[in-house]
Amino acid sequence: MTAVNSSEKDAKKERFKLWGAIASVIVTAIAATFFLTKPAVSTLSMTPLSGLMNLKEMASIAMPYEEAIASQNPTFIEFYADWCTTCQSMSSTVEGLYERYGEQINFVMLDIDDPQWAQQVSQFGATGVPQFTLLSATEQPVETWVGKVPKPILSQTFDQLLDTL
């Protein structure tokens, strides 16, 4: 009977090793799936409050409209509203563009809820927010986008405009 018990113990040990190996593969697959499919940290950390704060920060450092129009550089105007969640989510994109092109292109932010910008809202046909209007150095509209715009699209248009200068 001890030979049978020894064989049963060996079989149990083999099954235990097999289940351990299977469990290890499953845990590894789950961990790999989690780490390979999780969103970027910046996406996770972007909350409505942080988006609003970033939007307000960008508005505070943006060039005044009159100064931008008087400049010899092209001008990128963002028509926005504090309550606009798309405006908030685009703030990091606009910030990245400002860091890359801020020396060559004027960045202006106009709050559509501020009555002082009513004439510009009408002039540029800002019927939705965010609206992004790129003006040439001679104040001619080059392109207008409404809503969420991918950064590469904006960058490509900026590069094309700057190549013509």
Q: 55, 63, 68, 84: which is the annotated catalytic residue?
A: 84
Cα dihedral sign, 26-32-35-38: negative
For residue 68, what are the contacts with CB-CB under 8 A and spacing of at least 6?
Answer: 75, 77, 106, 107, 108
3-state secondary structure of 146: strand
Phi, psi at 137, each rounded to 5°: -65, -20
Pairing of strands 106-111, 141-146: unpaired
Q: Can 84 be counted among the known catalytic residues? A: yes
Q: 62, 68, 87, 129: which is the annotated catalytic residue?
A: 87
Tokens 């700057």 correspond to what residue? Answer: 162
Q: With contact defined as beta carbons under 8 Å apart, do 129 and 86 qualify? A: yes
Instruction: Give the active site residues.
Output: 84, 87
